């Protein structure tokens, strides 16, 4: 597990927008990624252990911070498209882990 944890720096307005986007994803409406992209990067993921690897933690952190701090949905899509395949895979799988954790957290409080 990660021994290095730091905070991603984004504005309050950006945080509210990200929370809205995650909420939409929790409801099955993925505004940042099209279905083909989701399938391409998430379908063959037998193990997501690599996204929690300490050696990749800084890369993951940097990607998330840049992705979340990009001002618009279209800007985030463009940023994603500009990445190499490994970084795209890392970012989208991390994003869906965040979505999944939010679903589990919400479910925990409903039970």
pLDDT exceeds cutoff 70 at 69? yes
pTM for the structure as a whole: 0.80
How is residue 1 written in tokens? 């597990």
For residues 109 and 68, what is the distance between their CA atoms, to the nearest angstrom? 26
- Mean pLDDT across the chain, nearest whole number? 84
The whole-number pLDDT of residue 10 equals 75
Span of 21-35, 38-52, 60-74 with lowest mean pLDDT: 38-52
């099209």: which residue's tokens? 34
For residues 32 and 48, what is the distance between their CA atoms, to the nearest angstrom? 20
Residue pair 10/18 in contact by the 8 Å Cβ criterion: yes
Nearest alpha-carbon partner for 29 in 88, 68, 73, 78: 73
């Amino acid at each position: 597990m990660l021994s290095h944890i730091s905070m991603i720096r984004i504005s309050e307005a950006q945080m509210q927008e990200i929370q809205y986007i995650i909420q939409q994803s929790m409801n099955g409406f993925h505004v940042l990624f099209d279905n083909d992209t989701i399938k391409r990067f998430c379908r063959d993921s037998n193990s997501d252990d690599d996204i929690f690897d300490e050696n990749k933690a800084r890369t993951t952190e940097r990607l998330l911070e840049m992705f979340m701090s990009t001002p618009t949905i279209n800007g985030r899509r463009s940023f994603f498209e500009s990445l190499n395949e490994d970084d795209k895979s890392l970012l989208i799988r991390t994003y869906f882990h965040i979505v999944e954790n939010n679903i589990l957290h919400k479910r925990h409080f409903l039970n």
